[in-house]
Amino acid sequence: MMPEPVDERHALMETYAPAAVTFVSGSGTVLTDLEGRTYLDFLSGIAVTSLGHCHPRVTAALEAQSKRLLHVSNLFANELAEPLARLIDKLVGDGEPARGRVFLCNSGAEANECAIKLARRYFSRTVPPSQVARHVIVSAYGSFHGRTLATLHATGQADKHVGFAPLPAGFDHVAYGDIAALETALRGAEDGAEVAAVLIEAVQGEGGVVPAPKGYLRAVRELCDARGVLLILDEIQTGLARTGRWFGFQRAQIAPDIVTMAKALGNGFPIGACWARDEVSAAFRPGDHGTTFGGQPLACAAALATLAEMEEIRAPELAARAGEHLAGAVARISGVSEVRGEGLLLGAVLEPGIDAKAVVAAALEHGLVLNAPVAGVIRLAPPLTVSSLEIEAAVGILADVMEAFS
């Protein structure tokens, strides 16, 4: 094969399909491309820039911290990680301390990797070596938990596993929303190993914006309690006000053992976190887990500013209100058969035969950023600060675009 000429070659690996647009700047809900065209961003980097692009408070915090201290090794303390962990603990408790501890990292996959390791470490400390190993992680088909080898195996989408064998052992999957299937899975895995934890999303974001059926999360909690299995909520996409509550699980009024978050935590600055209730978090002792960058001052400054702003503007209420407006307006668009999701994590289910990817591409050409997580579904996840006017403008663009398809 002839090598491509140097100036036509992409130096970035092709892990994503070629992009149609190059964005160069952003402010609030608006993105600008290389040619100076503006777009309404109703995807937010997939539920990341929840306060809008380049939020002044986050930018100011990053600017100030970048002049004070960027990084120290976790062999030492910094002045921001502990306050951030306390704030996360309070939000997990919906305003009251949840009495847990936090491991800070850099991404969603790392937060889930931490959760999986913590669950295994917990049982390796509490189950005597003479008993059957307790290490299996049960997650749902259609779920998404990350791209590291362990979180990839937890991800219940077989097409994403292709070509990466052997995946780590100790993962099992059940149908999302099917409590009887979970009951069977919790009886023990095929190799005789016992289940350590259930890892589940309150709304399957990548799976097509599929909310947990009513009563499901509560039934999962009860089943985990009955079997002595830990419950891990992956709130990486749903967490931090997106669904109209600080965390998606709060709708079900349950208390998970472990909660993971990332995406919106730094409003675009990379940071993730794994929270666990005290007794579980105590399984990690010095040397069990670690990271070079996790919890470094610059990332913590971004997260502290993001969460402080979210608290001040009552972000969950904004998401709930704007979500109702957006869901109602999208449901009236011709060619949309259903709008599902919670708060500002919405999926517009298109009538059979309409190609969601083609609609998304046409919307982009008309200045609206969306995506299609699965065939037939368009995801809408604008900043939680989105205005009514922006919602009306975006719905107008989508309705115009959909006319050509329905």
Site string for ligand PLP, 13-52 (x = CB under 6 A): ---------------------------------x------
Residues facing residue 374 across a β-bridge: 377
* Cβ-contact 273, 295 below 8 angstroms: no
Rounded Cα gap, residues 346 and 363, in angstroms: 16
Parallel/antiparallel/unpaired status of strands 194-200 and 134-140: parallel
Choose one: 50-58, 220-228, 234-242, 367-375; the region binding ligand PLP (CB under 6 A).
Answer: 234-242
Shortest Cβ distance from residue 206 to ligand PLP (Å)? 5
Whether the Cβ atoms of residue 56 and residue 251 lie closer than 8 Å to each other:
no
Residue 262 found at the interface with ligand PLP (CB under 6 A): yes
Q: Coil, strand or helix: which one is 400?
A: helix
With respect to ligand PLP, which residue has the nearer C-beta, 144 or 249? 144
How far apart (Å, rounded) are the C-alpha atoms in residues 401 and 359?
7
Tell me which amino acid residue 235 is.
E
Ramachandran bin of 267, using left for φ above 0, alpha for ψ from -120 to 50, beta for the remaining angles: left
CB 268 within 8 A of CB 48: yes
Question: Please, which residue, 112 or 267, has the CB nearer to ligand PLP?
Answer: 112
The dihedral sign for the CA sequence 338, 341, 342, 343:
negative
User: Binding string, 311-330, against ligand PLP, x = CB under 6 A?
Assistant: --------------------
Residues with active-site annotation: 144, 234, 263
> Closer CB to ligand PLP, residue 146 or residue 335?
146
> Given the rule CB under 6 A, which of 81-89, 141-149, 172-180, 386-394 is the region that contacts ligand PLP?
141-149
DSSP single-letter state for residue 66 = H
The beta strand positions in 14-153, using DSSP E, are 23-27, 30-33, 38-41, 100-105, 134-140
Instruction: Give yes or no for residue 107 binding ligand PLP (CB under 6 A).
Output: yes
Contact 262, 273 (CB under 8 A): yes
User: For residues 259 and 239, what is the distance between their CA atoms, to the nearest angstrom?
Assistant: 9
Strand partners, 275: 102, 259
The pattern of x and - marking residues 143 through 182 that bind ligand PLP according to CB under 6 A reads -xxx------------------------------------
* Shortest CB 145 distance to ligand PLP, Å: 5
**Rounded Cα distance, 199 and 179, in Å:** 14
Q: How far is the CB of 189 from ligand PLP (least distance, A)?
A: 23
Report which of 152, 156, 115, 144 is spatially closest to residue 260, judged by C-alpha positions: 115
Residue 344 vs 397, nearer CB to ligand PLP: 344
For ligand PLP, which is the closer residue by CB, 362 or 378?
378
Residue nearest to ligand PLP (CB): 108
Please count the residues of this chain forming the interface with ligand PLP, following the rule CB under 6 A: 15
Q: Indicate whether 108 belongs to the interface with ligand PLP (CB under 6 A).
A: yes
- Which is nearer to ligand PLP, 381 or 402 (by Cβ)? 381
Rounded to the nearest whole angstrom, what is the least distance from the CB of residue 124 to ligand PLP in the complex? 24
- Please identify, using beta-carbon distances, which residue of 65 and 237 lies nearer to ligand PLP: 237
**Closest CB 6 distance from ligand PLP, rounded Å:** 31
Q: Which of 26, 45, 205, 256 binds ligand PLP (CB under 6 A)?
A: 205
Helices (H), 204-335: 216-227, 278-281, 297-312, 315-331
Residue from 44, 78, 237, 281 binding ligand PLP (CB under 6 A): 237
For binding to ligand PLP (CB under 6 A), which residues are involved? 46, 107-109, 112, 144-146, 201, 205-206, 234, 236-237, 262
